[in-house]
Structures are given as C-alpha cells and as structure tokens.
Structure 1
Amino acid sequence: MSRLEDLEAFIRIAETGSLTAAARRLGRSLQAVSRSLASLEDDVGVQLVHRTTRQSALSEAGHAFYQRVKPALLDIQEARLEAADRKSAPSGVLRIGAPTLFGPDFLVPIIADFMTAHPQVEIDLQLSDSFVDLAAEELDLVVRIADLPDSGLQGRRLGALRRVVFGAPSYFERHGRPARPTDLRQHACIVRTAAQRSDQWAFQIDGKTRRIGVRGAFRCNTMPGVYAAVSYGLGLGYSPLWQIRRLVETGQVQVILEDFEPKPVPIHALWRENKLPPAKVRAFVDLLAGQLRIEDL
C-alpha cells in the first residue's frame, strides 16, 4: 500500500507540473519526491507522470488517479486536523449572535455553564433580531429562529418553536373564545406594528397553511407592549409560545386555537461554512444541543 507521503508528493507534482516545484512546496528534497513518485507508480503498476527535463505532465491514467485520490487525501488531512484539534481545550473569544429576547432567557444560563467548564474561553454575546452576516459582524456562531434558505452556512437543528394565539381570562369572560381562526375577524387582535405581515396570522387549516387577516383598536411596535396589552384584556395576541411562557404559567393569559397552530418554526445554531469549526464552537454547540432541549416549546 502506498504511503501517505507518496500520495502527497503525487498530488503536488500534478498541481505544480514539476518535481522540483513539488519538492519545494513540500519542503522535501528532489530525490525524496522522485522516490515517492517511483514508489507510487510501482505500487499501482502504471506510469502516472510523464517526466522531461523541464516539466512533468500527468498521463491519462495519472489524470484519472488524481481525480480519485485528491478528495480522499483532503479527507485524511481534515481528519488529522480534527483529531489534533480535539486534544486541545477550547480557548479564546467566542462571538455569538442571538435574538434579543431569546438570548437572555435561554442562552445566558447555558453560557454560564460553558464558561465554568471552559475558563479559557471569553464570550461576546450580540443580541439582535436582524439576520446578521456572520463574516461582516465577525461572529463565530448565531442562533437563528426561522425557516432557513440555502445560506452558505453550516448548522445544527436545536428544536422547533410553537406560535400561538393567547388572551387574558378577563377578555374571554367579556367576549368569549374563538372556535376557529376565521372567528378572529370578529375579535379585537393586538398587532405589532414594527413587524411585516403582523396583521396576517398563520394557521394550519384543513392541512394547509392559511393566513387570517386581523385587526384591533390597540397596536404596539414592541412585543413586550403587546404582551402587556393582552394581559390587561385589550385583545388577543399572536406570538412564539416561549416568549409568553411565564404569562401562561402564572395564569395571566391562556393559549387558544391549539388545533390550528401553524408548523413550528425551527431553531438552529449556525456557523460559517467550513469542514472543521474551531474547538470552542463545537464544544458550545454540543452543550447547547444537550441543554436547550427545545422541541415544540
């Protein structure tokens, strides 16, 4: 079986077109590279490189061999790097982006555990509800709540988040409970004015996603304002369940129309596309996936 250094020598010769250039790139002597090529050709039983005094060119068999060997060699090199990287403890600054409300409640407790386990890591947490560009913002990782297009990022699914309609007991006492999403047209609904299509609430009706237009006398540009208004019985709200869980647990609001909820929105941890994310990113994502445990929350 050919040695790894023989394959590396062949790849360099193929890419540089010269044994001398390949030797320089590998930091080996010309004689050593020549011996590696001869050993590889002897092993496969065919000439891979046509040699002249000035240059080297791949034979037909050499071209085919190069196409098969190059990806395999890259995988081997990547595996070597990953094995070496796993021996080193996570360190340095880990820059994380997350939604404004989600970060403090869900990420900070996990970050606290992570920093206790890895004292050589510093955390820079950036909270924003915009879809930030990782490279432009110099972030290592983002937590994103959305259906993801092909974004050129790698990621790991952490769970899914429910979207619900909710109201205060005092509102239901005065106005009753809607039985179907279409009944919302006769109810006061509180709309967040800063969000696009916030007056079009999504539901699953007869197996299909449909949007129902809603309106009401009270509107607000922030979700905390919407939640306060719903709590005081000014109308019904529409929100991710995790954002109102404390209101539900304390009985200030009640969830309705659960049989018509739209498909849960997935939540992912995302990082820039490369085959080997740094140890600090892998370690944090592993902890996040283990502790977050969000599924249809």
Structure 2
Amino acid sequence: MTQDLARIRAFVQVFDSGGFSAAARQHGRSKALLSKYVTDLEDYLGVRLMNRTTRKLGLTEAGEAYYREASTLLQQLDDLDATITDQTAEPRGLLRVSAPRNFGEDTLAPVIFAFLAKYPKVSLDLRLEDRYVDLVDEGIDVALRISTMADSSLIARKIADMRVVAAASPDFLARMGVPKHPDELRAQPCIVDTNLQGQANWRFIEDGKTLSVPVTGPVRVNSPLAARQAAISGLGFAVMPSYLADPAVASGALVPVLAEFMPTGQTLQAVYPHRRHLAGKVRALIDYLVEWFAAHPVS
C-alpha cells in the first residue's frame, strides 16, 4: 500500500510540477526514481498516463481521469494527516486573516493579538481592507465578514450578532427633522457607504418584510469610518455598524433614528474555504473568537 501511494504521489507531483526534472528539484527525489514510479504505475494499470516528449509533458485521456481522482485522494489523505496531528499539537504556522479595515483596527486587533499571545507558535498575516477578498485565489485561511450570508463555495461559522444603526447629528436633525418612516429618507441628504450591502438602496424592515429605500446625498465614500465622520459633520443620515455608531451616540455626536425599522440578522462570520478537514490553527482562532465575543459582546 505504501509503495502504491508513492507511485500515485509521484505521478501527481510530476504533472503538477510540469516535468520530471522540476518535480525532482521541488520534492527532493531523483528524476530516475520518479520516472520509475510513474512507469510502474502505468504498467500496473495497463494504460499510458503521460505523453512524454523532450519539450513538454501531457496527460492522456486516461491520465486526465486518473489525475483528477488521484489528486483529490492525496489531498484528502494529507488533510487527514494534518487533522490528526493538529489534534495533539499546539497550533503553529502562518495564519492569513482578512477583515474589514475599520472593524479590524478598532475591534478585532486586540482580540487577535491576545490569540497570538496564547499561541506564540502562530504567526499572523492580517490583511485589513474594505473589498471582497477571494479566499482561494489570495491564499487566505479565514476571513471575518459582517453579513447575512456567505458565498456558497465557502463555509461560514457565526462568531457574534451584529447591529446596524441609522443616525445623524443633533444639529442636522434640528434643521431637517427626525424621520418617522424610512421612506422619508428618499428626500433627505444621505451619506452612501459603497461598502454597504445595497450601497444606495438602504434596507429596512416593516411588518416583517424588507423595505428597500433608494437614497442620495452629498457624499459617497468607501469607508464606514468616513461615513460616520460625515454624519457627525452634519452632512446627512448614515447607516453604519453599531461598533462604530455606539461611541458617537454615547458622546452625543450622533442620534439614532428609525431604530424600530432597522434590520436584524447581521452577524460577524468566520468564513473559510470548503475543506473536509480544517487546519488546527484556523480552528483554534475561530474557537477563540467565539469565546471572546461571547464574553465581550460587540454591542
């Protein structure tokens, strides 16, 4: 069985590397041994898997089918080995994490740095940016996202409940009046955060149904922190996460409006690529975040 796996792994490594010489350099094996393993595999199966020329290497039709299944099998075995090791070993290695900039700087950073203090063998690449990040293409282990849903190709675990707040400055409300219904915002100056789901179509809840209100105003920004500052400056209404709104509300710089119409169901989620076995360092971080935010609610 061990010899069979060695042959299969050699076949996958050679094709992934683009040739026998490249695979030998990359995996520390001799070119002759890799060639022998692939030839032995072909002899055992009774079919040619690779077309070899001096310039390039390609797969036969049988080789393509075998490669798909073999590479999946080897990945599952590697993941299983890693899972068993992770259960008994302290989390270690590089952890790539993505999060919204303002949430990461203001709320997440203290939590994740405490995690690193607990697990000193883990190193961190924390990427704070207000854009959609493709986890697979960019090699991200886990992303923290504030949303109501996740990409179907990913797995999401709820970390904590979140709220959104509509607010304006006291001076602005004194001039323009306090809205009683979301529809009134259609004719009022509003600050559009282009990172917000729906952007200029703000979502509210009325009688259990979603109400979408198109808004316009003097400011469009791609930062909830800047949207908050624009609202504090009296430029209009803004919708923002509660972790940004609450300090300004507590200081009197902003006044919440339309609270009874604000949607619920927003959550902080840990999102990670669909894998059968989750790396121990990722599982440890997610568990730590769940425990932290349970003890320290965002609002």
Structure 1 length-normalised TM: 0.68
Change over 3 Å in CA distance of 1:187–1:196 after alignment to 2: same
* SS of corresponding position for 1:267: strand
CA distance in 1 between counterparts of 2:80 and 2:226 reads 51
Aligned twin of 2:208: 207
Aligned twin of 1:96: 97
Change over 3 Å in CA distance of 1:100–1:82 after alignment to 2: same
Q: Does 1:25 align with 2:9?
A: no
Shift in Å at residue 188 of structure 1?
Answer: 2.5
Change over 3 Å in CA distance of 1:205–1:88 after alignment to 2: same
Change over 3 Å in CA distance of 1:201–1:285 after alignment to 2: same
CA distance in 1 between counterparts of 2:87 and 2:288 reads 15
Whether contact under 8 Å (2:102, 2:225) holds in the other structure is no
CA distance in 1 between counterparts of 2:190 and 2:5 reads 69
Q: Does 1:135 align with 2:139?
A: no
Q: Structure 2 regions of 5+ residues with no counterpart?
A: 7-43, 46-75
Q: Does 1:220 align with 2:220?
A: yes
CA distance in 2 between counterparts of 1:130 and 1:193 reads 10
1:19-98 equivalences in 2 (<5 Å): 22=1, 24-25=3-4, 82-98=83-99
Aligned twin of 1:184: 185
CA distance in 2 between counterparts of 1:179 and 1:124 reads 45
* SS of corresponding position for 2:239: strand
Aligned twin of 2:175: 174
CA distance in 2 between counterparts of 1:193 and 1:82 reads 40
Change over 3 Å in CA distance of 1:149–1:234 after alignment to 2: closer
1:278-293 equivalences in 2 (<5 Å): 278-293=279-294
CA distance in 2 between counterparts of 1:296 and 1:109 reads 13
* SS of corresponding position for 2:159: strand
CA distance in 2 between counterparts of 1:253 and 1:288 reads 29
CA distance in 2 between counterparts of 1:163 and 1:250 reads 18
CA distance in 2 between counterparts of 1:221 and 1:79 reads 45
Q: How many residues are matched?
A: 230
Instruction: Output the aligned Cα RMSD.
Output: 3.0
Select the structure of larger CA radius of gyration: 1
Whether contact under 8 Å (2:148, 2:267) holds in the other structure is yes
Q: Deviations over 1:165-224 (max 9, x none)?
A: 1011112222221111122234322234676743221110122101112233x2132433
CA distance in 1 between counterparts of 2:87 and 2:254 reads 47
Aligned twin of 2:127: 126
Shift in Å at residue 288 of structure 1?
Answer: 0.7
Whether contact under 8 Å (2:150, 2:156) holds in the other structure is no
Aligned twin of 1:8: none
Aligned twin of 1:256: 257
Change over 3 Å in CA distance of 1:113–1:188 after alignment to 2: same
Whether contact under 8 Å (2:94, 2:125) holds in the other structure is yes
CA distance in 1 between counterparts of 2:173 and 2:90 reads 55
CA distance in 2 between counterparts of 1:109 and 1:273 reads 28
* SS of corresponding position for 2:190: coil
Whether contact under 8 Å (1:193, 1:219) holds in the other structure is no
Structure 2 length-normalised TM: 0.67
CA distance in 1 between counterparts of 2:155 and 2:196 reads 27
Whether contact under 8 Å (2:91, 2:281) holds in the other structure is yes
Change over 3 Å in CA distance of 1:254–1:83 after alignment to 2: same
Q: Structure 1 regions of 5+ residues with no counterpart?
A: 1-21, 28-53, 56-74
Shift in Å at residue 23 of structure 1?
Answer: 7.6
The percent of aligned pairs where both chains have the same amino acid is: 31
Whichever residue aligns with residue 199 of structure 1, its letter is A
Whichever residue aligns with residue 221 of structure 2, its letter is N
Shift in Å at residue 81 of structure 1?
Answer: 6.2
CA distance in 2 between counterparts of 1:207 and 1:250 reads 32
* SS of corresponding position for 2:120: coil
Whether contact under 8 Å (1:264, 1:296) holds in the other structure is no
